[in-house]
Amino acid sequence: MDRAERAFSDLKTHLAEIEDLDRIESLLAWDQQTIMPPKGGAGRAEQLATLTKLIHERLTSEQTGRLLDEAAPFAEGQAYDSFEASLIRVTRRDYEKARRVPTELATEMARLSAQAYPEWVEAKHQADFSRFLPFLEQQLELRRRYIACFEPAESPYDVLLDDFDPGMTTAEVADVFATLREGLKPLVAWVRERADAVDDGLLHGQFPIDQQRQFALAVIERFGYSAEAWRLDPTEHPFASAIGIDDIRLTTRFDESWVNQGLFATMHECGHGLYEHGIDQALDRSPLAEGGSLAMHESQSRTWENIVGRSRPFWRHFFPSFRDTFPEAMEGVDEEAVYRAVNKMQPSLIRVEADELTYNLHIVLRFELEQALLAGDVKPAELPEVWNARMRDDLGIEPPDDGQGVLQDVHWAIGLIGYFPTYALGNLIAAQLHERAQADLPDLEAQWAAGEFGQLRHWHQSHIHRHGRILTTKDLLERIVGGGLSAEPLLRYLRNKVSDLYGEPPATAAA
Amino acid sequence: MDRAERAFSDLKTHLAEIEDLDRIESLLAWDQQTIMPPKGGAGRAEQLATLTKLIHERLTSEQTGRLLDEAAPFAEGQAYDSFEASLIRVTRRDYEKARRVPTELATEMARLSAQAYPEWVEAKHQADFSRFLPFLEQQLELRRRYIACFEPAESPYDVLLDDFDPGMTTAEVADVFATLREGLKPLVAWVRERADAVDDGLLHGQFPIDQQRQFALAVIERFGYSAEAWRLDPTEHPFASAIGIDDIRLTTRFDESWVNQGLFATMHECGHGLYEHGIDQALDRSPLAEGGSLAMHESQSRTWENIVGRSRPFWRHFFPSFRDTFPEAMEGVDEEAVYRAVNKMQPSLIRVEADELTYNLHIVLRFELEQALLAGDVKPAELPEVWNARMRDDLGIEPPDDGQGVLQDVHWAIGLIGYFPTYALGNLIAAQLHERAQADLPDLEAQWAAGEFGQLRHWHQSHIHRHGRILTTKDLLERIVGGGLSAEPLLRYLRNKVSDLYGEPPATAAA
């Protein structure tokens, strides 16, 4: 073994321990948000802080830098997507990004987010933007300082975007989002006038939680869930967590009087879980054993929640057991009625409750406002007014107060600026991938109607999941669809769905 | 702040982080043994190994040594039981013990235990001692090497004992165990002839698990359990775990056809939990925030399981709800019958199923054999023969095979030599403490009969729990009962119980 090879082997061991600590951090957070006794909170915060500090210390240590330098020759000449070249490339990137941010700034960011969170909760509750304003101003200031730690980019926003989707630029996102908005606005306006043609009242009623859980489990077991390597637990805000490739923990929230929420949240989180569970075991205990980007991750959750879960063939298969699980609520209801109900489209105020069609406009709005705030083109104090005007313009509705408007999301309170785009990019990529999957697997929908989802899962696993962080969003799209981001597949998908539910829109609406 | 004070403050921070990691390790182990998906096992083993390594590295680091040296003057002149003096004394002890064991030996011990465990499972299953023999020989050899890392003690066994009960010596334990055995043997022989006078058949039958859980929870809620800071979950081998002073996790195992097991295991683990929950908050995030010794810990679990849980006043209070919880199984059964059933005494082969009277003889046997093995007075190959002869002598029964004899316990397989005594010491200390508690709180039993256990908990909390590791077993006994270990209180307690159940034994039996 030569020096570089030995350094690579040491680097692998060093990173394996950091990855163990990362997984442990996920377990602590999962436990905190599902089953921890309430009074355990104070101690848990200390445990998490210690772990975060340790992970940061180890990643940014001189040792990491030295091993990266010494191991570099070992990966030279190896393929871009080899384990060796990828481990060094991805770790070098993580290392350099982490080293650029002074501990003092990182601490200040963590402290401000912890302070701002309860203030945001109160401000939202009281619909009082002025209460939140000073925290938003401070968050923007810290983000500007954060951005200043890095080489100047084409747009300052690029630096933030890069944290969630490596290599993705503001210009690229702005381009597809503009197309998306342009395509969606007339369609939304047309649907708004006839939204009531679809009745989703049947999703409200009495749906006992135990039965909801049983039905949701039966669904995701067909998707790939198994008790051998997964869990499903209740929580307040659903999420998926990978404690290991073979220890996937989904969380969800069932509402006894509204069956929609728990079922679709479970399918959504299952999509995230399938990604983490599908990573090549050879990447285990390395920083490559995670999803490639938040946008790719979201493409997976949206595939299973929307493209599969809101499809006709899905309900062809599952409607009979759905009816048998909820015989009273489903009395006199047929498959078609359920299919229409779970797809009802109507402009609404709250992003997380929005339908597939209008959802993306909520994101484009946030993406553009974030850039304007960072650039100083919109002053934080002007935000409610700008927000409301934009809601009127895009969706034809206006929030009655800021609690249902600009204050609705937690992201800005905890410093997550640049994160929102990943949600719409996920929808967009899911549609791009699905057109390719349909071309590769022509009888996909017939399989779903027969309750078979293995081919679709396998397609995603072999094209996306197994690569972990070896390939970026761009790499994956280039390999799978032979190009970059495109809004067209999503627009095609949504136009089809609109036609199916509300009839053919006029040419002016389908611009 | 002078140099020593600053060093003390740094030491406190350094140790707080190690303590956080210790708590995290407890959470990982708890999760593994209760709710982790089975396939998560391989990844969890890596996570635990990384954490253990990190904790060991930090505790034994040069930094710990330097801070201890520099901070020492700060604690000088402070009281023995002050936080400052105790933190330095206890940490110095942990540090020096951990530094004496070479990493190589520690690794070898961990590896052998991991290898020996499945072999022991198989050997026990097949009742094949010869299969286990080579592992026992290796464990003894490693323990000898471990002992050789320390200053020679009066007995080599002292070194092992000290890991579980700091400062306790073999001579002291041997002394009280000899008295215990001498007192118990004739009593056991007398009871053996009339064991059938007590019928415990009523504890077998149909006891639905949900109801068992509900009843056990109602009991421990009276002891001090609350959902705010505790959990109770099912597991294979019950244990209690403190993820924090305010995050106590009890585990238990309910058997649908035998109500005894789950109920008494829950009360037992609750005793451990009350100890950890009763530690002074001022000790939080320090190495002092744990129980003082395993023997003290066991005294707490035995107090609640046996002294309280198998008492008349306990059943005076709880029998009506027990009967209402299990109306079919309890049909025609009265309070007295249940009290007698849960106290039935009869020599039996398996330690963990033994009653209060005979249990201690199982421990004395193991304590003496461990010393003989270490000294070479008994060869490992001779062990089954010696074991069986001793069982005949002490309990009047003999194992039909080694699975129910020398192979029954996991301890020796995983290198836990010197651990067994803590179980009987716990019983012995529980009785010593209880005589004192009864003198301090004369109407204790009347309170129990009224379902009030707060005074007893408070007594234990203020005399024992709150001190954490500040006081050793010896310190505590000296302060509370004004002396050292004594077998007499336990013998008095057991003689009383025998009389109550089987009538007055003749003078020769109560020797």
Write a three-state SS string for A132-177. Answer: HHHHHHHHHHHHHHHHHCCCCCCCHHHHHHHHHCCCCCHHHHHHHH
Q: How far apart are CA B494 and CA B501, in angstroms?
A: 11
**What local confidence, expressed as pLDDT, does residue A510 receive?**
62
**What local confidence, expressed as pLDDT, does residue A340 receive?**
97
**What local confidence, expressed as pLDDT, does residue A507 receive?**
81
CB contact under 8 A, B243 and A40: yes
Q: How far apart are CA B487 and CA A376, in angstroms?
A: 79
Q: Which of B28, B38, B227 faces A27 most closely, judged by CB atoms?
A: B28
Burial of A340-357, coded b for 16+ CB within 10 Å and e otherwise, reads bbbbbbbbbbebeebbbb
User: Residue B78 — very low, low, confident or very high, per pLDDT cuts 50/70/90?
Assistant: very high
Phi/psi at B248 (5° precision): -105, 125
Burial of A33-45, coded b for 16+ CB within 10 Å and e otherwise, reads bbbbbebbeebbe
User: What residues are paired with B230 via a beta bridge?
Assistant: B248
**What local confidence, expressed as pLDDT, does residue B506 receive?**
87
pLDDT at B387 over 90: yes
Interface test with A, best of B22, B35, B50 (most A CBs within 10 A): B50
Tell me: the pLDDT tens digits for A280-333?
999 999 999 999 999 999 999 999 999 999 999 999 999 999 999 999 999 999
Q: How far apart are CA B194 and CA A391, in angstroms?
A: 86
Residue A420 makes CB contacts below 8 A (sequence gap 6+) with A363, A366, A367, A370, A409, A411
User: Measured between beta carbons, which residues in chain A are less than 8 angstroms from residue B36?
Assistant: 243, 247
- The answer for B169, left when phi > 0, alpha when psi is -120 to 50, beta otherwise, is beta
B38 sits in which H/E element: none
User: What residues are paired with B240 via a beta bridge?
Assistant: B250
**What's the whole-number mean pLDDT along residues A17-29?**
97
CB contact under 8 A, A37 and B245: no
**What's the whole-number mean pLDDT along residues B362-374?**
97
Query: What value does the mean pLDDT of chain B take?
Result: 96
Phi/psi at B204 (5° precision): -100, 140
Residue with tokens 């165990």: B177
Q: How far apart are CA B281 and CA B287, in angstroms?
A: 12
Residue A219 makes CB contacts below 8 A (sequence gap 6+) with A263, A266, A267, A309, A318
Q: How far apart are CA A389 and CA A381, in angstroms?
A: 14
**What's the whole-number mean pLDDT along residues B457-474?**
98
Q: Which residue of B has its CA nearest to A42?
A: B246
CB contact under 8 A, A27 and B31: yes
Residue B454 neighbours by CB distance under 10 Å: 12
Q: From A370, A368, A350, select the one nearest A359 (Cα to Cα).
A: A350
Where is average pLDDT lowest: A106-115, A140-149, B251-260?
Answer: A106-115
Q: How far apart are CA A171 and CA B41, in angstroms?
A: 45
**What local confidence, expressed as pLDDT, does residue A345 receive?**
97
Range list of H helices, B193-326? 209-223, 259-277, 294-302, 312-325
Q: How far is A27 from chain B (nearest CA, A)?
A: 8
pLDDT at B247 over 60: yes
- The answer for A345, left when phi > 0, alpha when psi is -120 to 50, beta otherwise, is beta
Task: Output Rg (C-alpha) for chain A, integer angstroms.
Answer: 23
Q: From A232, A272, A238, select the one nearest A255 (Cα to Cα).
A: A238
For A72-106, give the DSSP string: HHHHTTS-TTSHHHHHHHHHHHHHHHHHHS-HHHH
Q: How far apart are CA A455 and CA B469, in angstroms?
A: 58
B356-375 and B383-395 helices, crossing angle to 10°: 150
CB contact under 8 A, A246 and B40: yes
A23 sits in which H/E element: helix A3-34
Tell me: the pLDDT tens digits for B283-317?
999 999 999 999 999 999 999 999 999 999 999 99
- Yes or no: say if A10 and B199 are a contact pair by the CB < 8 Å rule: no
3-state SS record for A352-380? HHCCHHHHHHHHHHHHHHHHHHHHCCCCH
Tell me: the pLDDT tens digits for B219-234?
999 999 999 999 999 9
Catalytic residue among B269, B290, B298, B356: B269
Report helix, strand or coil for B251: strand
Q: Which of B46, B227, B246 faces A43 most closely, judged by CB atoms?
A: B246
Q: How far is CA B367 from CA B292, B372, B419, B431, B491, in A?
A: 21, 9, 9, 20, 19
CB contact under 8 A, A247 and B40: yes
Residue A140 makes CB contacts below 8 A (sequence gap 6+) with A373, A374, A380, A417
User: What residues are paired with B204 via a beta bridge?
Assistant: B258
Q: From B374, B477, B365, select the one nearest B153 (Cα to Cα).
A: B374
Q: How far apart are CA B216 and CA B281, in angstroms?
A: 28
Residue A215 makes CB contacts below 8 A (sequence gap 6+) with A263, A321, A322, A325, A326
Sign of CA dihedral B366, B367, B370, B372: negative
- Yes or no: say if B436 and B387 are a contact pair by the CB < 8 Å rule: no
Q: From B40, B105, B197, select the one nearest B415 (Cα to Cα).
A: B105
Q: From A259, A277, A264, select the one nearest A326 (Cα to Cα).
A: A259
**What local confidence, expressed as pLDDT, does residue B209 receive?**
97
Residues on chain A bordering chain B, Cβ-to-Cβ distance under 8 angstroms:
16-17, 20-21, 23-24, 27-28, 31, 35-40, 42-44, 46-47, 50-51, 53-54, 227-231, 243-248, 284-285
Q: How far apart are CA B426 and CA A68, in angstroms?
A: 54
**What local confidence, expressed as pLDDT, does residue A508 receive?**
77
Q: Which residue of A has its CA nearest to B284?
A: A43
- The answer for A238, left when phi > 0, alpha when psi is -120 to 50, beta otherwise, is beta
For B488-509, give the DSSP string: HHHHHHHHHHHHHHH-PPPTTT
Q: How far apart are CA B339 and CA B315, in angstroms?
A: 6
pLDDT at B511 over 70: no
Q: Which residue of A has its CA nearest to B39?
A: A229
Range list of H helices, B353-453? 356-375, 383-395, 421-440, 444-449
B491-498: which pairs have CB atoms within 8 A and are 24 or more residues apart? B491/B179, B491/B180, B491/B183, B491/B184, B492/B431, B492/B435, B493/B307, B493/B431, B493/B434, B494/B184, B494/B187, B494/B356, B494/B357, B495/B187, B497/B343, B497/B345, B497/B356, B497/B357, B498/B187, B498/B190, B498/B191, B498/B345, B498/B357
- Yes or no: say if B302 and B264 are a contact pair by the CB < 8 Å rule: no
- Between chain A and chain B, the number of residue pairs with CB atoms below 8 A apart is 114
pLDDT over 90 for what percent of chain B? 96
Name the token pair of B438: 């009864």
For A204-222, give the DSSP string: BS---HHHHHHHHHHHHHH
Name the token pair of B223: 């002891």
pLDDT at A371 over 90: yes
CB contact under 8 A, B247 and A44: yes
Q: How far is A179 from chain B (nearest CA, A)?
A: 44
**What's the whole-number mean pLDDT along residues A340-348?**
97
CB contact under 8 A, A231 and B37: yes
pLDDT over 70 for what percent of chain B? 100
* Structure ipTM: 0.94
- The answer for B450, left when phi > 0, alpha when psi is -120 to 50, beta otherwise, is alpha
Is 0.90 topped by the overall pTM? yes
Q: Which of B17, B245, B247 faces A50 most closely, judged by CB atoms?
A: B17
Query: What value does the mean pLDDT of chain A take?
Result: 96
- Yes or no: say if B231 and B250 are a contact pair by the CB < 8 Å rule: yes
The amino acid at residue A409 is D
Q: Which residue of B has its CA nearest to A36?
A: B247
pLDDT at A270 over 90: yes
Q: How far is B177 from chain A (nearest CA, A)?
A: 40
User: Measured between beta carbons, which residues in chain B are less than 8 angstroms from residue A247?
Assistant: 36-37, 39-40, 43-44
Task: Output Rg (C-alpha) for chain B, integer angstroms.
Answer: 23
Q: How far apart are CA A231 and CA A251, in angstroms?
A: 8
pLDDT over 70 for what percent of chain A? 100
Tell me: the pLDDT tens digits for B115-132?
899 899 999 999 999 999
Residue B209 makes CB contacts below 8 A (sequence gap 6+) with B254, B256, B262
Q: Kindly list the catalytic residues of A.
A: 269
- The answer for A253, left when phi > 0, alpha when psi is -120 to 50, beta otherwise, is beta
B257 sits in which H/E element: none
Q: Is B251 exposed, middle or buried (0-12, 13-18, 19+ CB in 10 A)?
A: buried
User: Residue B351 — very low, low, confident or very high, per pLDDT cuts 50/70/90?
Assistant: very high
**What local confidence, expressed as pLDDT, does residue B136 receive?**
97
Tell me: the pLDDT tens digits for A241-257?
999 999 999 999 999 99
Q: Which of A24, A36, A247 faces B51 most closely, judged by CB atoms?
A: A24
B269 counts as catalytic: yes
pLDDT at B510 over 70: no
User: Measured between beta carbons, which residues in chain A are less than 8 angstroms from residue B47?
Assistant: 20, 23-24, 244
For B172-225, give the DSSP string: HHHHHHHHHHHHHHHHHHHHHTTGGGS--GGGBS---HHHHHHHHHHHHHHHT-
Q: How far apart are CA B359 and CA B354, in angstroms?
A: 5
Q: Which of A17, A39, A243 faces B40 most closely, judged by CB atoms?
A: A243
Q: Which residue of B has its CA nearest to A18?
A: B50
